[in-house]
Amino acid sequence: MKSLSLPRPFPHQATLVFTDVDETLTWQGRLPVETFQALFALQQAGIRVVPVTGACAGWCECMLRTWPIDSIIGENGAFYIDRHQTGKLTYTFASPRAEREANKHQLHQLQQNVLQQFPTAQLTTDQSFRLTDMAFDIGQDFQMEWSAAQRIAEFCRAAGANAKVGPIHINVWLGQYTKASTSLDWLSHHNVAYENTLFCGDSPNDDSMFASFPITIGVANVEPFLDEIEKPPTYITNRPGGFGFADLAASLLHKAT
């Protein structure tokens, strides 16, 4: 199926938008003011936005405490965090504690093997703020060729781990969950209608989300990766990253930019 240009106004009813963060809400590592305004406008209009990200727990808490959002799904589906009216945060994990502890030890050994096998590999600077996974930097503070990143990911998969290559990180974890499975669990626990839910993303590490929701949107920078996504997005914005997300918000709110 060929992706279509983002229409305005948006032709589908939506009460919730799941969205990737890096290079979907951000652009070139920064959060455009248009994106933050779009998040606020959607919240004011009663359309909830729930980021679904590979970001570490530390970053997730920061976003949840400071952005106009009330929930976030982090570390590629390892957990979701809800912020209550009192400001209190609660975690819901996809795996039980004993399993998470066992996985942590296995990941540490795999981490050592990766660093030995690939001497140029570098862990992300936020690794110590991760609860369930490990991440290698490929486009944030350290640049790595896409092909080299894919080799590291394949090495981790051969060892029995899950590995997803995104625009800035390789995320590696153990467990049966995905971004999509935890997003669907979130919908069930929060009594939100599946048919009124959208997803917005930018890369192959969002493939489970693109495949799991009937209406999806890719920001413009998804285009080089369309052949790597089994079910391409329904629509693609004209602008990249957070600017494209702002265009999606304008379409949902029936506004012209």
For 9-46, the pLDDT digits (tens) are 999 999 999 999 999 999 999 999 999 999 999 999 99
How far is the first Cα of the chain from the last one, in angstroms, to the nearest whole number?
28
Mean pLDDT rounded to a whole number for the chain? 96
pTM listed for this prediction: 0.94
- Res 155: pLDDT: 99
Per-residue three-class SS string for 28-63: CCECCHHHHHHHHHHHHCCCEEEEECCCCHHHHHHH
Rounded to whole angstroms, the Cα distance separating 100 from 175 reads: 8
Express each pLDDT in 43-61 by its tens digit.
999 999 999 999 999 999 9
Angle at the Cα of 27 from the Cα atoms of 25 and 30, rounded to 5 degrees: 90
Phi, psi of 238 (to 5 degrees): -80, -25
What is the Cα 43 distance to its own chain's centre?
Answer: 19
Give the least confident one: 8-12, 65-69, 218-222: 8-12
Q: pLDDT grade, residue 256 (50/70/90)?
A: very low
* Domains of the chain: residue spans and CATH: 4-94+177-252 (3.40.50.1000), 97-173 (3.90.1070.10)
Average pLDDT over residues 213-220: 98
- The one-letter code for the residue type at 182 is T
